[in-house]
Amino acid sequence: MNSRVSAVLVAVVAGGLLSPPAVALNITGKYEYTKRWSWREGDLRIKYTLDLKRDGRYELVSELSTDDKDRLPERAFEENGDILDILVRKRRAVEKGDWLRRGTTVSLDIAELDGRKRNGRYAAEWRRDALHLHDYPRNLYGRTDFELKPKRFRPDWSSEGRPDRPDRPDRPSDDERLFGTWYTNIAIPGDDGRLIRMLELSSNGSAQITSMYSRRGYEPSVTSEGIERLGRIFGKLTKHMPGLIHTGKWDARGSEITVELDKLGRDRISDRLQFRLVRSDLVATGYSRDLYGSTQFVLGKEIGYIPRRDAAEPRSEPKDRSNRDAFAGTAVAMQKLRGEDGYMERKLELKENGVAYLSTKFVGSGDPNRIRGARAEWGRLVQMLDDEKRDLKHEGTWVSRGDTLILSLTTIGRDSYRETFRFRYTGSAFEPLEVNRDLYGAAPLVLRK
């Protein structure tokens, strides 16, 4: 795995950040690679043809060959990427864009795929008589490195330069230290392996974060503590799916970097991450704790990077630190219906690291749904409880603004329930200012410490 990651780093850093003068190049032409993938009931072949044109444009044509396209296993799509979805429907897909060469490295900037606008950047390196495509969106083309060989011509790599073409659009930053791949690896609670994160910032504005379990072939130990500390993305990793890629775009103002991601694997999951360049480290200063966990992460340009203890700056805290300390802790509300023995306990837990839990627990006998008026008074959450399931937990994060508590709740178990609640803190209790009454009911939700 390290050798492949090394190739990614070399390809990105060498991928044409400086544009030498235009000269005649003899590397134009067609390069081919056929990828074969088999399973118990059959096999498939995907032929890729890369055409580097003299005007600086390129086409990458993908063609599918199989007799079993209607019986492909799910693993085929995981291994071969989203392009297989397109090829199953159409048998052929065409990607177009611009190419640029520096030394023995060629970078490809995607403009469109099958007529639809698409952003991204590849890097390929010429070695051992083939063009090795390493740095490319693996969610689109799968996990196998390409080895594209020239078709009926011998390219000349002795000259240096780029094709003539219009100037590229502005890059997201003029600070070339930001471009390339950043790494970190984080300890996993109760596991000998580590969580590897790779942030790739391309000069054309595309970005992706790869989350990967370090011990390939082993099942990661996924615990509630691990998910809290490392996020829901870590909870999705398995022996058969050891990595996930979150893709999107990025921009920078000075040393402040903003990464907007909108697709996780095949799912549309959005997040906005913020980083700060501190010396030679990239420090994460803002992101969804639900997706990426409560453990702040710091990235460096070295593979296997483990940040120094002093590298991470603290997350931005409210100006009134003592006020935040006063908020942290546990507060409880007991909601009892007239004439009934049972009651609903709501417990708010505010952790010092910004994690929040709002728990709902029925205290009593029987099914709470059979109590008259339970749905109206205790809200829609009561429908998730029954004779056996007595409690549930709404998870997320919290911040304080003056005497106001803001809860950003995202999940109940593994289901998405995104809500933003606001409470006023009186010094001994949290009084509701904004709460989803359909979800939590009409009963007073005054949480006392």
The pLDDT tens digits of the residues spanning 223-245 come to 888 888 899 999 888 878 888 89
pLDDT at 69: 67
SS3 52: strand
pLDDT at 323: 62
Dig out the tokens for 388 from the structure. 């056996």
For 389, residues 6+ apart whose C-beta sits below 8 A from its C-beta are: none
Mean pLDDT of all residues in the chain? 78
* 269-276: average pLDDT: 89
* 420-437: average pLDDT: 89
Q: Is 339 exposed, middle or buried (0-12, 13-18, 19+ CB in 10 A)?
A: exposed
Per-residue CA distances from 170 to 98, 106, 205, 220, 257 (Å) = 15, 19, 9, 42, 16
CA angle in degrees (0–180, nearest 5) for 265-268-274: 90
User: Which of 64-73, 224-233, 267-276 has the least mean pLDDT?
Assistant: 64-73
Per-residue CA distances from 264 to 130, 270, 428 (Å) = 31, 8, 41
Ordered domains of the chain (ranges, CATH): 2-150 (2.40.128.300), 180-299 (2.40.128.300), 321-448 (2.40.128.300)
* 374-379: average pLDDT: 84
pLDDT, tens only, 88-112: 888 889 999 888 877 778 888 888 8
* 124-137: average pLDDT: 77
